Amino acid sequence: MRTQSHLFAGLALLSGAWAKVRYLGVAIPGIDFGCDIDGSCPLNTTQYPSVSHGHGDGAGQMKHFVKDSGLNTFRLPTTWQFLLNEQVGGKLDDYNFGLFDELMQSCLETGAYCMIDLHNFARYDGGIIGQGGPSDEAFADLWGQLAYKYANEDKVMFGLMNEPHDLDVGLWAKSCQAAVTNIRKAGAASQLILLPGTNFTNAETFVTTGSADALADITNPDGSSDGLILDLHKYLDINNSGSFEECTTDNIEAFQAMADWLRENKRVAIISESGSSMSDSCMEKFCAQNEFIAKNSDVFIGFVGWGAGSFKYNYIMTLTPFQDGDRLEDNKLMKQCIIDPFIKNAPASTIITSKTKTKGLQTQTLTTHTKLTKSTASEDDISTIESLSFTCTTDEAAPTSLPVFKEGSKSTESHDSKPDDNSGASQRMDLFIGGSVALVGFVILQVF
């Protein structure tokens, strides 16, 4: 069957054309405290991040991070045990889910993106999901319930699982597929869903463990992969645990290899967890890591630091802001290694594209540089870039793995959508830019 596809997919990952990563934030943990990597998460060890519960001021922190620090994304860890009050296969517990939703609403009220993080390591009390533990159906049912609750919230993200490990990645992909299908069927049609791999979703081994290929086959019910984002974690200490004060790597080699795979396969990822201490070695290497990620925002579309919430100021990787008079102040790790590389010193963007092979059409790699920087790019500029599209006829549908989301829009922008009748100027601009890029593409094709 002949279909219309977008040469856009073969020319540029335009959602990365903006110099900043699209999603930048920090985790607000507390509900997950006490979880072990076997998926046991006792309810009596939780430290709900709220002053009224005697723990961290999650709501106040999120307001500060948005207003004063420029962040726009928060990861909200919770657990299967907490949400269902230890009743696998049951319904969301009124009281416990009510507490989680209170935190979620505090997040949404800031205007930020809010990521649900199920912090169970792909397990429940020792049993692996779909591999001798809870069934795929039970896992999918939990996510279906959560998706139904937040189906109309554009800025809720679904992080399927924190750090799966020591499992059959092919079977794990089937578990994730079941969850994705239920999320979409529950009405959450356009929100981002984060897909984690095995080995603690380690960016360094994401490809070699087979996680990348297995998760890349997951689709929405319509067969597309729109909004399905790969979920990466990486620490910098000797065993990638975030437990040691000294950092032994800047992870640049690991993230370079991952970026290469993402470009080649036309996928994007969010680093939803990374952090370090404030030792000299970590300040150097964590900052260097994040500078590299910022320079590769065409494929690394988000970064979330670990962590604030109920963590005290003396926690080894704390990003918890401290009280300075009547206001909150960020620590040097947040300022120098997150705000500076991702916001203050965000690099001029580079659009780097991947080779695309479609039946009857060969599109060669094209690298170009935009003139937009953080300080010069207006919202109109960004909208113009994101709306740039043109079509060609091919025997295969173009890849749909890269979502282009409009800020504040519920659905993925369709490149097939027609402009309003009154948008002549916009049409002319799109035609001018599209024609220019098409001409460059034609010349490149002739050269090769």
Measure the CA–CA gap between 444 and 364, rounded to whole angstroms. 7
| Residue 446, token pair as written in the block | 């002739």
Q: How far apart are CA 346 and CA 21, in angstroms?
A: 9
Tell me the β-bridge partners of 233.
Answer: 202, 273
What does the pLDDT look like over 197-245, one tens digit per residue? 999 999 999 999 999 999 999 999 999 999 999 999 999 999 999 999 9
Is 273 assigned a catalytic role?
A: yes
**What is the model's pLDDT at position 121?**
99
Report all structural domains of the chain as residue ranges with CATH numbers, in order of start: 21-344 (3.20.20.80), 350-447 (no CATH)
Retrieve residue 261's tokens: 């795979």
> What Cα–Cα distance (Å) separates residue 115 from each residue in 97, 189, 195?
15, 16, 12
Q: How far apart are CA 355 and CA 50, in angstroms?
A: 49
Give the model's pLDDT for residue 346.
75
When pLDDT is cut at 50, 70 and 90, the band that residue 19 belongs to is: low
Place of tokens 């360094």: 204
Catalytic residue among 204, 253, 273, 413: 273
Distance CA 137, CA 411 (A): 27
Least confident of 22-26, 173-177, 411-415: 411-415
Least confident of 40-44, 149-153, 422-426: 422-426
| Annotated active-site residue in 109, 137, 153, 163 | 163
- Strand spans (E) along 67-206: 73-78, 113-118, 123-124, 127-128, 156-159, 193-196
**What is the pTM assigned to this prediction?**
0.77
Give the tens place of pLDDT for each residue, 155-214: 999 999 999 999 999 999 999 999 999 999 999 999 999 999 999 999 999 999 999 999
Contact indicator for 410, 226 with CB cutoff of 8 Å: no
Burial class (CB in 10 A: 0-12, 13-18, 19+), 422: exposed
The rounded mean pLDDT for the chain is: 81
The CA distance from 74 to 63, in Å, is: 11
pLDDT at 58: 98
- Which of these, 187, 200, 168, lies nearest to 274 by C-alpha position? 200
Cβ atoms of residues 296 and 14 within 8 Å? no
pLDDT reading at 364 higher than 50: no
Mean pLDDT in residue range 360-389: 34
pLDDT-based confidence at residue 345 (cuts at 50, 70, 90): confident
Distances (CA, A) of 146 to 1, 42, 130, 203: 37, 21, 19, 27
Structure token digits, residue 329: 């102040």
153 has catalytic annotation: no
> At 199, which helix (H) or strand (E)?
helix 198-201
pLDDT of residue 425 exceeding 80: no
